[in-house]
């Protein structure tokens, strides 16, 4: 890979040991993918923040980099394993809280903002169309590529961090026009109703497209922010590409030639997915209800507050969101309404990256992505309902 003189100097240690290590990682990655050069990035989003994923080794690596490493472009963090301001509400072990704080301090020394959200585009990290990024959280990567028209590969935590410390990413994959062409085309003869349905559509497309960039034609589709967020979360989770084109909605949908053959997703297929994922678990009542995967928008928080007003929840109920949305919810009195019901409005974290394994056995959520991870790594039974039905379960303490 060709390096400029300035890039070579970073590799040789002129900007310190951490930047040299970061440049080494990017050069190795570029060599693997035959990248001809490095591209400057305008922002970075770093996953690999929860201590439960990093462990002692990851923490030691960050602390070593933080000796002389500093981010040279705007960079934000993905969710951590706890709400940084009130971890005690999550019932976590004191040792975990201490180690998670060390992780956040190390990132802070590296100059990476503890936004701790998977919706950085709602927390001050909003790319423009065509921007080159190094983002790592799959739903955020898919939103940036597909909805915003920016360009990023799905980075691993270490490569995103390396981009933050150097300001570059290798020119391969979704940075190149060729990889952004749709390779599989779907006509959706169904009517996805809200965020849960768009998540299910993402699941069906992800499963059927096997990593190829899909072109989606959904007649009359006007998905809102919440629906697009759910689609972006589910599609790559279920095996799809972190870029899709939605005709009439996303900025690059008409830029490339459409594949000739068309696969159909009809109402029966969508209804089958609804029924299959809404099945109650074989035994027992849910012990956890979670909304906010990806992090809830203000509209989602408001809807939850309206439904919970005057009720008490009968099971642990988490609504996860970003700090800026929580600040607005505080001002509007929504946080108080939600928390008067016994539910928690949590920031900086989510039920997938928090260390919950073994603590809960049956989750109800509206997130197709959350369902995948909770039933896999989290080893929980999961029922997927729309947000309003999830909150009804929280109030009743059982499925209706």
Binding site for ligand F3S (CB under 6 A): 78-79, 118, 137, 139, 233, 293-295, 320, 350, 352-353, 369-370, 373
Least CB distance from residue 77 to ligand F3S, whole Å? Answer: 11
SS3 for the chain is: CCCCHHHHHHHCCCCCHHHHHHHHHHHHHHHHCCCCCEEECCEEEECCCCHHHHHHHHHHHHHHHCCCCCCCCCEEECCECCCCCCHHHHCCCHHHHHHHHHHHHHHHHCCCECCCCCCHHHCCCCCCCCCEEEECCHHHHHHHHHHCCCECCECCHHHHHHHHHHCEEECCHHHCHHHHCCCEEEEEECCCCCHHHHHHHHHHHHHHHCCCCEEEEECCCCCCHHHHHHHHHHHHHCCCCCCCEECCCCCCCCCCCCCCCEEEEEHHHHHHHHHHHHCCCCCCCCCEEEEEEEEECHHHHHHHHHHHCCCCCCCEEEEEECHHHHHHHHHCCHHHHHHHCCCEEEECECCCCCCCCCCCCEEEECCHHHHHHHHCCCCCEEEECCHHHHHHHHHHCCCC
Judged by CB, which is closer to ligand F3S: 348, or 381?
348
Least distance between ligand F3S and beta carbon 373 (Å):
6
48 vs 79, which CB is nearer to ligand F3S? Answer: 79
The distance of closest approach from Cβ of residue 26 to ligand F3S in the complex, given in angstroms and rounded to an integer, is 24
- Residue 9 vs 84, nearer CB to ligand F3S: 84
| Shortest distance (Å) from residue 180 CB to ligand F3S | 23
Whichever of 201 and 350 has its CB closer to ligand F3S, that residue is: 350
Q: State which residue, 22 or 296, has the beta carbon closest to ligand F3S.
A: 296
In angstroms, give the least distance from the CB of 94 to ligand F3S: 23
- Closer to ligand F3S at the Cβ: 106 or 233? 233
Rounded to a whole number of angstroms, the minimum distance from the CB of residue 232 to ligand F3S is: 9
């Amino acid at each position: 890979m060709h390096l400029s003189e300035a890039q070579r100097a970073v590799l040789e240690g002129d900007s310190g040991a951490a930047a040299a290590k970061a440049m080494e990682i990017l050069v190795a990655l570029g060599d693997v993918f035959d990248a001809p050069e490095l591209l400057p990035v305008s922002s970075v989003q770093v996953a690999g923040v929860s201590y439960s994923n990093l462990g002692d080794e990851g923490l030691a690596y960050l602390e070593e980099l933080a000796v002389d490493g500093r981010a040279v472009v705007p960079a934000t963090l993905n969710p951590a394993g706890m709400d940084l301001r009130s971890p005690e509400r999550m019932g976590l072990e004191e040792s975990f809280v201490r180690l998670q704080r060390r992780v956040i301090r190390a990132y802070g020394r590296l100059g990476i903002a503890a936004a701790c959200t998977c919706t950085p585009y709602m927390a001050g990290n909003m790319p423009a169309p065509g921007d080159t990024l190094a983002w790592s959280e799959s739903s955020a990567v898919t939103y940036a590529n597909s909805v915003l028209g920016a360009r990023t590969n799905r980075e691993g935590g270490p490569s995103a961090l390396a981009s933050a410390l150097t300001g570059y990413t290798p020119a391969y994959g979704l940075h190149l026009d060729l990889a952004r062409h749709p390779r599989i085309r779907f006509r959706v003869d169904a009517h996805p109703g809200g965020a849960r349905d768009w998540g299910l559509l993402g699941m069906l497309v992800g499963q059927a497209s096997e990593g190829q960039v899909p072109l989606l034609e959904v007649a009359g589709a006007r998905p809102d922010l919440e629906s697009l967020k759910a689609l972006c979360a589910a599609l790559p989770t279920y095996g799809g590409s972190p870029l899709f084109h939605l005709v009439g909605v996303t900025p690059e949908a008409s830029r490339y030639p459409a594949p000739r053959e068309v696969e159909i997703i009809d109402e029966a297929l969508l209804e089958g997915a609804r029924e299959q994922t809404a099945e109650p678990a074989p035994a027992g009542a849910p012990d956890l209800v979670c909304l906010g995967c990806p992090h809830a928008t203000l509209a989602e928080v408001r809807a939850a507050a309206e439904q919970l007003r005057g009720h008490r929840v009968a099971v642990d109920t988490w609504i996860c969101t970003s700090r800026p949305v929580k600040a607005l919810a505080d001002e509007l009195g929504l946080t108080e309404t939600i928390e008067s019901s016994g539910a928690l409005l949590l920031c900086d974290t989510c039920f997938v990256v928090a260390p919950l394994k073994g603590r809960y056995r049956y989750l109800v959520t509206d997130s197709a992505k959350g369902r995948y991870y909770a039933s896999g790594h989290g080893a929980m039974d999961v029922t997927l309902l729309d947000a309003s039905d999830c909150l009804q379960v929280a109030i009743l303490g059982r499925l209706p």
